[in-house]
Amino acid sequence: MSLTTHLVCAPDDLPETASVAQWLVRPGQHVEADMPLLRLHDAGATEAVLAPLAGLLTAHCVDVGDMLAASELLAMIEAEEKPLLANWPINMEDTQEVLSVAACRQASAQPRAPAPAPAPTIADVLALCAALGLAPDEIDAGQALTVDAVYRHVRSELRLLAALRGMLRQ
């Protein structure tokens, strides 16, 4: 089996903006499918975002209090996956159904107590940069090279990309 990184995104049906109210799982903690990861607060309601699959939560990509929009990156989960057969037949009728599955689901479940996460080493940070296709020197020189700095950089780049996409749509 191989490990694959899955992106957990904010639900597509969020109002204009929402804020991260509370993280329920820490990086380095194993999560089960449909386990609540975090709570979002929007328009007077608080809703939980669930893990789309079981695996290891490798990173928070937003902090408590951050404002975010629909489909914005929230977290990353590393999961074991069985290799696909090279000649596995895929029915064209099934592709649309498979591709339309939402990356995030919402529910109001009770949070589980988080376990303490191990502190990442510089080797972990460099491995994360390599996995994301980033050179370590792309991270702001004014910041220490940490997992949080890498994710702040990635969030900043994703927000810039989203703004550019919005400008192109106009």
Quick one: pLDDT band at residue 109, thresholds 50, 70, 90? very low
Judge whether 55 and 147 are in contact, CB under 8 Å: no
Q: Indicate whether 23 pLDDT > 90.
A: yes
Residue 22 within a domain? yes
Q: Which of 27, 67, 52 is nearest to 107 (CA)?
A: 52
Cα–Cα nearest to 114, from 8, 37, 167: 37
Q: Which domain holds residue 3?
A: 1-82+96-109
**Residue 105 — pLDDT band, cuts 50, 70, 90?**
very low
Buried b (16+ CB within 10 A) or exposed e, 138-148: ebeeeeebbbe
At residue 21 the predicted structure's pLDDT band, cuts being 50, 70 and 90, is very high
What is the reported pLDDT for 49? 93
Q: What are phi and psi of 18, to 5 degrees?
A: -140, 165
Q: What is the pTM of this model?
A: 0.51
Domain count across the chain: 2
- Residue 70 and residue 1 in one domain: yes
Is 166 found in the same domain as 125?
yes
Predicted pLDDT of residue 111: 44
Which residue in 37, 29, 32 sits closest to 8, CA to CA?
A: 37
